[in-house]
Structure 1
Amino acid sequence: MDSTSKRYYKISEVSEMVGLPMSTLRYWESYFPAIHPQRNDRGTRFYTPRDVETIRMVAYMVNDKGMKLEAVREELKRNRDGVTKKFETVERLKKVRNRLQEMLDSLHKLR
């Protein structure tokens, strides 16, 4: 994704990127083994782009699909590749929809 161009992100950056509170990210870190940010000597969390994508997938399954955290954890454990493909497809479709909406809005402004 274009927003994951750095090697590491602080928790405040990830929070802003995915639209979730930092407390939620900290909780999910303890709940999902796939989210494991690096820490420096001072305890500052540094998330990799893979961590950010996992957080986005979890947020999608919880917020958009209405799944409970336990179900999300099991789904990621059982079928991470399938979840990743579905998530990527939905994200691409959202981008296409947004682009089409922008085009429609431009056409309406021309009238």
Structure 2
Amino acid sequence: MALAGVPEKAEGAFRTIGELSRETGLPQHILRYWETRFPQLRPLQRAGNRRYYRPNDIALVIRIQTLLDQEGYTIRGVQKLLATEGKRGTKPDLATLRAVRDSLALGLAEDEASIPGV
């Protein structure tokens, strides 16, 4: 939703806290509070502590808002959920790694078989 006389930003553009507040309907103080509660939410801060939210920050704010307002999570519940996801996301299990390796090996073998003279 663009304001009168203000052009709408591109999808991947950074947002200020005011812009994000208008887009999500969340007050600015709530966004600042969430920064203290969710270590995953770290917008860029420039001179004068001006915040710039990246697209992944915006997606996280929307996710937190959905979990709290629509799915009934508490702040602590969302913290635990995000912490668990962060741990899972950084270290895939051995079975997953082997499946990816086998899939890549199969793809390479098929590519080599389709090239004449190899």
TM-score calculated relative to the size of structure 1: 0.66
- Look up the equivalent residue of 1:56 and give its one-letter code: I
**Partner residue in 2 for 1:71:** 77
* Count of aligned pairs between the two proteins: 80
Q: CA separation of 1:36/1:71 partners in 2, compared to 1, >3 Å: closer, same or farther?
A: same
TM-score calculated relative to the size of structure 2: 0.62
Q: How high is the sequence identity, in percent, across the aligned residues? A: 27
Structure 1 residue ranges, 4+ long, deviating more than 6 angstroms after superposition? none
Q: CA separation of 1:35/1:4 partners in 2, compared to 1, >3 Å: closer, same or farther?
A: farther
Bigger share in helix: 1
**Partner residue in 2 for 1:31:** 37
- Output aligned runs, 1:1-111, within 5 Å: 5-79=11-85
The structure with more radius of gyration = 2
**Partner residue in 1 for 2:92:** none
Gaps of 5+ in 2: 1-8, 89-118
* 1:17 Cα deviation after fit: 1.2
Match of 1:42, SS? helix
Aligned CA RMSD, in angstroms, stands at: 2.1
* 1:33 Cα deviation after fit: 0.6
**Alpha-carbon displacement from aligned partner over 1:54-91 (angstroms, at most 9, x marks no partner):** 000000000001110010011011125x9xxxxxxxxx
